[in-house]
Amino acid sequence: MDWDRPKRKPMADINVVPYIDVMLVLLVIFMVTAPLLMQGVDVDLPQVDAPSLQVDEANPPLIVAVTALGGYYTELGEEQSRPLELSQVSEQVKKIVAARPGLKVLIRGDENVTYGKVVQLLATLQEAGIANVGLITEKPG
């Protein structure tokens, strides 16, 4: 028999290594999928070498997007609208600016959209009381 062998005490430590492995795997998965979760309208921006606008993170600008097919969308922070008609854009912008005076308004237009669509949007924003509008572009390369 095993009478001469010393008795072992039970081990009371918790092995946390598997938990750390699982946590690191989840961290990598979330880091890879987070950029894919960004919502937005697919717009090919024109590439222009222009200085960057300073955007306040606490007060994000209102972005009005124009797709290549001429659809209009409004985006404020993480909120994105459904496709809108030009008259609906005017009404929605008036409501948003009335609730948040001094809000910056930016236009993100697809490089393939006709110039007339952007000009109509600019005129609509001017009628809505927006005097200063910025245009969003991408840096070349």
- Per-residue pLDDT band for 114 (boundaries 50, 70, 90) equals confident
Q: What is the DSSP string of the chain?
A: --SSSPPPPPP-----HHHHHHHHHHHHHHHHHGGGG-------PPB---PPPP--SSSPPEEEEE-TTS-EEEEETTEEPPPB-HHHHHHHHHHHHHHSTT--EEEEE-TTS-HHHHHHHHHHHHHTT---EEE--B---
pLDDT digits (tens, 9 = 90+) for 15-61: 888 899 999 999 999 888 876 665 555 656 566 676 666 666 677 88
Domain coordinates in residue numbering, the chain: 62-135
Give the model confidence (pLDDT) of 67-103 as tens digits. 888 888 888 877 777 888 888 888 888 888 888 887 8
Q: What is the pLDDT of residue 85?
A: 86
pLDDT-wise least confident of 59-63, 112-116, 137-141: 137-141
113 — pLDDT class (breaks 50, 70, 90): confident
pTM of the model: 0.59
Domain at 62-135: CATH architecture: 2-Layer Sandwich (3.30)
